[in-house]
Amino acid sequence: MPTHEPESKPDVAQATKTAFITGITGQDGSYLAEALLGKGYTVYGLVRDIRGRSYQNISHILHRLNIVEGHVEFFLSDLLVEIQPDEIYNLAAASFVGKSWSGWRRYMKVNGIGAVNVFEAARRVCPKAHVYQASSSEMFGNSPSPQSEATFMAPRSPYGASKLYAHSMARIYRESYGMHISCGICFNHESPRRGHEFVSRKIAKIAAQLSNGEAERLRLGSLEPRRDWGHAKDYVRAMWMMLQAPEPGDYVVATGASHSVQDFVRLAFSYVGLDWKDYYEKDPQFIRPAEVLDLRGDPSRIKSILGWEPEMNFDDLVMDMVTAELEGLEHDKSSREAPAEVFGGLQGEGSGEAVRGGVSREIGSPEADSEKIRRDSPNLKQVG
């Protein structure tokens, strides 16, 4: 995906810090890792398994990372003894709300118990580390908007319930043990790195494909739900700012404006010159058993205490995502049309391989990608 930015020069003031990020291969983890490397941090990233794991979001910085294989659901103390992080960002999660009804056990294990395992390991090994817990606006359910830190929380999905458990336990650890644990109650934040199963990425992708004649219809559930959509780059900046504060706390991270799913569709299609009404089809399989109708955050607290402000608005976000999809289609087209590279009359075995900073990576196959990382990366560690 042609969304990688040039590596920034380290900030000397932060050069001695070490950060540990769970869920580093995801949207938020990858942007956060980039930002921390730019500030001079040593960055460790936890992934569930090396085999079959996609590293697309971090492939351009993989040679600068320390990748560790493990699970947040299991004991992490031995790992933290070795790393001794100054900052811990718990971003690992089962995060697709629609699947949480059928996979509620996994959602509670990863999102709930996994978070507490992180807190407990930090308490035992590095109690002075500053910890970030990724909370969610889904915890509010249908409480009246705008939602603030004081709004009553009544989740309407197993995903929201699992996040509320972790959020509550973060407060308990903070108050019981005096730990610096801050929770970012993040409203919907998207980017070109968002997973394909999420509605924002699906809309952007189908709009781009339709403009190239590579799709037929956009099939979605209800278009009425409203969300407070921001860009992931802005939100990971808020995460970092929370851990620099002298005191921990809970913060709503939001833009303060909400838009319907229909608004997202209309804007995405307008960027490619199409009328969305000609291509939309309502599909019952995408309708949730219980829907949250209107989420709009009140970011007053984080703005007043930490000085955080989003730099990208809704229009910027949608344009960024659609543009990335169009560029991706063009890149795929160019790759299909380009002649195969030939060495000495034969196609070279290494012609599909890219090498960055000593980490060799075969392109196009998560399995091959993970095997090369497992074999060649000096930064790979595995824990039980």
- Catalytic residue set: 136, 138, 159
| Amino acid in the structure at residue 184 | G
Geometric angle at alpha carbon 85, from 32 and 193, rounded to 5°: 15
Task: Kindly state the tokens that stand for 55.
Answer: 């590293």
Diameter of the chain measured on Cα atoms = 70
| Cα–Cα distances in angstroms (integers) from residue 11 to residues 62, 86, 232, 233, in the given order | 19, 16, 21, 18
Distant-in-sequence, close-in-space partners of 346: CB < 8 Å, separation ≥ 6: none
Cα dihedral sign for 8, 10, 13, 18?
positive
